[in-house]
Amino acid sequence: MADRHFDLIIIGTGSGNSLITPELADQDIAILERGTFGGTCLNVGCIPTKMYAYPADVITSAQHLDRLGASFPCDPQVRWREIRDRIFAGRIDQIAAGGEQYRRQDPHITVFDGSARFVGPKEIDTGTGATITADQIVVAAGSRVSMLDVDGLREAAPSLGVHTSDSVMRMEELPRRLTVVGGGFVAAEFAHIFDAFGVEVTWLQRSGSLLRKEDDLISGRFTELAAERYDLRLGTQISAAERRDGAWHLTTTGPSGSGEVVADAVLVATGRVPNADQLGLAEVGYRMDGPRLWVDEQQRTSVEGVWALGDISSHWQLKHVANHEARVVAHNLAHPEDLRSSDHRYVPAAVFTHPQIASVGLTERELQAAGRDYVVKVQDYGGTAYGWAMEDQVGVVKLLADPETRLLLGAHLMGYQASNLIQPLIQAMSLGTPVPEMARGQYWIHPAIMEVVENALLGLEL
């Protein structure tokens, strides 16, 4: 017998916290949170990483000034603690605390600060001594960092210099030497940040290229640039790790046999696993989708009245996807007679590394594997007037389109402001605008860098 029944239980205060729209505000609601209010994006994810990436971008841009006939004659002096405290004490921590206080003072809301676990399909042990039930439950419990199967690196140990994205942004001091492990989004953003801040970065990737899920052109060009900038070791894995004389001695196996990397700190960035296992969902009969909680298009789980959203049930692991799904769930909770579906047709992503990378839709590799007909255009930033102003040598836009429908199938960008330049392409795909209409149905400001997108569209032979 449960201790208390609610109208609605929300597990997780990341995207789950935004569910309580005015339509639901009068319900008797329980919020369950085992960590910091606001979840991953606010506290240890998207927002603080971009607040570090911005100064790193400014430093990196200044270092490219030489190409333009100017230079700053001194190295950047990075005041790490000042940056860290501006980001966390000055902004993030205040937002998290304010959000928590706002919920706690609401008479309709009860907050349980424990680690929740299902003990029945709709019965939850809150981890605080109370067991609760509800008419409706939303599981928004996110994901966690996955660690390495190597002694010494199985668990994060920030005081010993073993970091994940959860701790690395709050370090007391910048390490002199940092080894970054993994070749995905997190590794690419932090390698850029720490290298720009003057840390010696060694980057270990077990396969032959970085950002492998990107289109091959982007992944290949980014890997080449990274090999020039970092001590990048491809095809390399850590087989043993030992902390000796205040440093990590990492034994590696790679293309030329075994080696050693010595580092003051290690950042493990080898992916994230959904927290579904820790909630005991499979044990009480929920349908799973591999390690994720299964949901249908309306974000319903296999148990009636139980919904899920974000990283726990989505393979995208992106905040804008979690936010979109939260809006769908908020509507569906209040309007059971008019259920909406999530729109996962054209999910974009951007990597805030240097150069920036952004993509939406299918890669050429995926089109080939599916046997689809397509036309392709690769347009360098350097072929446009603003690209000349920048003396740009790396920026590129690759577009893929369907010759029959004349609709875009994929867009893959690397370069200055790629995360913004991609937006009209996302819009065209989402709204079904054919390429010729998009290219010639509007003005493009001359000579803005956006002309690289216009030229790429015009170059598609449709």
Rounded CA Rg of the chain: 24
Q: CA nearest 377: which of 433, 432, 453?
A: 453
- Of 28-36, 269-277, 406-414, 448-456, which part binds ligand NAD (CB under 6 A)? 269-277
The maximal CA–CA distance of the chain, rounded, in angstroms, is 75
Beta bridge partners of 214: none
Nearest to 131 by CA among 119, 145, 148: 119
Window 223-242: residues binding ligand NAD (CB under 6 A): 237
Q: Has 64 been annotated as catalytic?
A: no
183 binds ligand NAD (CB under 6 A): yes
Binding region for ligand FAD (CB under 6 A): 11-16, 32-35, 39-41, 45-46, 49, 115-116, 140-142, 165, 186, 275, 278-279, 310-312, 317-320, 322
Q: Is 271 annotated to bind ligand?
A: yes
425 neighbors 376 (Cβ within 8 angstroms): no
| The total number of residues written for the chain in this structure | 462
Nearest to 275 by CA among 97, 33, 38: 33
| 78 belongs to an annotated ligand binding site | no
Q: Which does 8 bind (CB under 5 to 8 A by kind): ligand FAD, ligand NAD, none?
A: none
Is residue 274 within the footprint of ligand NAD (CB under 6 A)?
A: no
Q: Please state the φ and ψ torsions of residue 384, each to the nearest 5 degrees.
A: -120, 165
Tell me the residue nearest to ligand NAD as measured from the CB. Answer: 184
Whole-angstrom distance between the N-terminal and C-terminal Cα of the chain? Answer: 66
Q: Smallest gap, in angstroms, from Cβ of residue 207 to ligand NAD?
A: 6
CB 139 within 8 A of CB 312: yes
Pick one of 182, 348, 355, 424: the residue that binds ligand NAD (CB under 6 A).
Answer: 182
Q: Which residue of 318, 397, 418, 457 would you call a contact of ligand NAD, by CB under 6 A?
A: 318
Least distance between ligand NAD and beta carbon 437 (Å)? 30
Q: What is the DSSP letter of 88?
A: I
> Taking a C-beta distance cutoff of 8 angstroms, is the pair 392, 448 a contact?
no
Q: Tell me: is residue 187 an annotated ligand-binding position.
A: yes
Is 352 near ligand NAD (CB under 6 A)? yes
d(CA 368, CA 215): 12
For residue 348, the partner it binds in ligand NAD, ligand FAD, none, with Cβ less than 5 to 8 A by kind, is: none
185 known member of a binding site: yes
Query: Given the complex with ligand FAD, which of 202 and 275 has the nearer CB atom?
Result: 275
Q: Which residue stretches of 352-434 are H helix?
A: 364-369, 385-390, 418-421, 423-431
52 or 386: whose CB is closer to ligand FAD? Answer: 52
- Whole-angstrom distance, CA of residue 437 vs CA of residue 444: 13
Among residues 314, 317, 332, 359, the one that binds ligand NAD under rule CB under 6 A:
317
Pair of tokens at residue 462: 């449709």
* Both structure tokens of 96: 């998290």
- 10 Å Cβ neighbour count for 329? 28
- Closest contact distance (angstroms) between CB of 178 and ligand FAD is 15
Chain Cα centroid distance, residue 434? 29
| Residues between 58 and 117 with contacts to ligand NAD, criterion CB under 6 A | none
C-alpha span between 145 and 269 (Å, rounded):
8
Q: Considering the rule CB under 6 A, would residue 187 count as an interface residue with ligand NAD?
A: yes
291 scored as a contact of ligand NAD (CB under 6 A): no
Site string for ligand NAD, 107-146 (x = CB under 6 A): ----------------------------------------
Q: Least Å distance between CB 189 and ligand NAD?
A: 6
Q: Which amino acids are annotated as binding site, given as ranges?
A: 50, 182-189, 271, 311
Binding site, annotated residues for NAD(+): 182-189, 271
Q: What residues are annotated to the active site?
A: 446
Catalog residues that contact ligand NAD under the rule CB under 6 A: 148, 181-187, 189, 206-207, 237, 269-272, 317-318, 349-352
